[in-house]
Amino acid sequence: MFKRLCVIGTGLIGGSIARAAREQGLCEEIVAFGREKNLPNLQLAQELGVIDRFYTDIGLALHNADLVIVATPVGSMRSIFEAIKPYWHPEALYSDAGSTKGSVVEAVEAAFGHVPSNFVPAHPIAGAERSGVEAAQADLFRNRRLIITPLENTDAALVEKLSRFWQQIGSSVSLMSVEHHDTVLAATSHLPHILAFALVGLLGRKDEQREIFKYAAGGFKDFSRIASSDPTMWQDICLANKHEIIPLIQQFKAELSHIEQLLADDNTRQLFDTFTYARNARQRFLETFDD
């Protein structure tokens, strides 16, 4: 059990971590740090009982905290870690919830000149097209994966301690390298989000000229759901992991060009095979997902 959890960033993810930790009785108290401009959100988080109290002074927020989780958009990580640095405590466990791990490790390195052994990078894989602390829920991470990407010098005991924390709030914990994480998530999460944003953008412009959305079906509703995700969060993720994402966009365009050619050639057979392979692959995914 932790004495004091300090959550930095009380949106959907930070708020849900706080709610889950409280529900499972994992921390004696839960505080938050936020900047002045986020006062209304911090007040709401306190009113909703998500946190016990908040501070706009980071030194006060971190005082006596033995677990600190940074759950802000990944683009702000560097300034957050620079602000934390003067109050860094060698006995505390620091972690994050960023969707890209290479960029977070770089941010910590930029702030400290190295990555402290008591910083344990982590990423909860939980859907989040809703945003804000109002949407926070204690079971957001239940039956979801949590990936920890320890570095060579990361304290193994703290990796173990963080794993237990996430397991207690219902997650299934996997360990992998920073690089593997960023490669896998670029494919399964970042590229799909870009495709959804791109499609809904393209169709939105057509809809402005000539209404088309009213003739879209439930399939489009599901397909486009992730285009409702938070733009700031996703702008940060896409830029932070662009070295993985750009080659994937290129591969995807090649895939589309292939299908385009099959259509131009009336190649029924290969079109059938392509669609069948995809259908079977999704079935394999579903079997994994339902595990």
CB 97 within 8 A of CB 74: no
Give dist(CA 46, CA 40) in Å, integer: 10
Residue 224 touching its own copies (CB under 8 A): yes
Q: Is 204 in the site for its own copies (CB under 8 A)?
A: yes
Q: Under 8 Å CB-to-CB from 100, ≥6 apart: which residues?
A: 74, 182, 185, 237, 240, 241
> For its own copies, which is the closer residue by CB, 22 or 101?
101
Query: Residues 136 to 155: which contact its own copies by CB under 8 A?
Result: 144-145, 147
Query: Is 209 a residue that touches its own copies (CB under 8 A)?
Result: no
Q: Does 201 bind its own copies (CB under 8 A)?
A: yes
Residues in 37-56 at the binding interface with its own copies, rule: CB under 8 A: none
What is the closest distance, in whole angstroms, from the C-beta atom of residue 255 to its own copies in the complex?
4
> What's the number of CA atoms in the CB half-sphere (13 Å) around residue 147?
18
Cβ proximity to its own copies, 37 vs 214, nearer residue: 214
* Minimum distance of its own copies from residue 235's CB (angstroms): 5
Helix H or strand E encompassing 276: helix 268-289
Count other Cβ atoms within 10 Å, centred on residue 216.
Answer: 13
CB atoms closer than 10 angstroms to residue 183: 17
Q: Per rule CB under 8 A, is residue 160 in the interface with its own copies?
A: no
Provide, rounded to whole angstroms, the least separation between the CB of residue 203 and its own copies.
6
Least distance CB 182 / its own copies (angstroms): 11
Nearest one of 248, 246, 209, 202 to 227, comparing CA atoms: 202
Helices 231-240 and 102-112: crossing angle in degrees, nearest 10, is 80
Instruction: State which of positions 239-278 bind its own copies (CB under 8 A).
Output: 239, 242, 245-246, 249-253, 255-257, 259-260, 263-264, 266, 268, 271-272, 274-278
Between the CA of residue 209 and those of 196, 204, 221, 261, what are the distances in Å? Answer: 20, 9, 20, 29
What mask, x for binding its own copies by CB under 8 A, covers residues 110 to 129?
---------------xxx-x
Residue 190 beta carbon to its own copies: minimum distance, rounded to whole angstroms: 10
Binding map of its own copies across residues 60-99, x = CB under 8 A, - = no contact: ---------------x------------------------
Cα–Cα dist 1/181, whole Å: 28
Nearer to its own copies, 128 or 151 (CB): 128
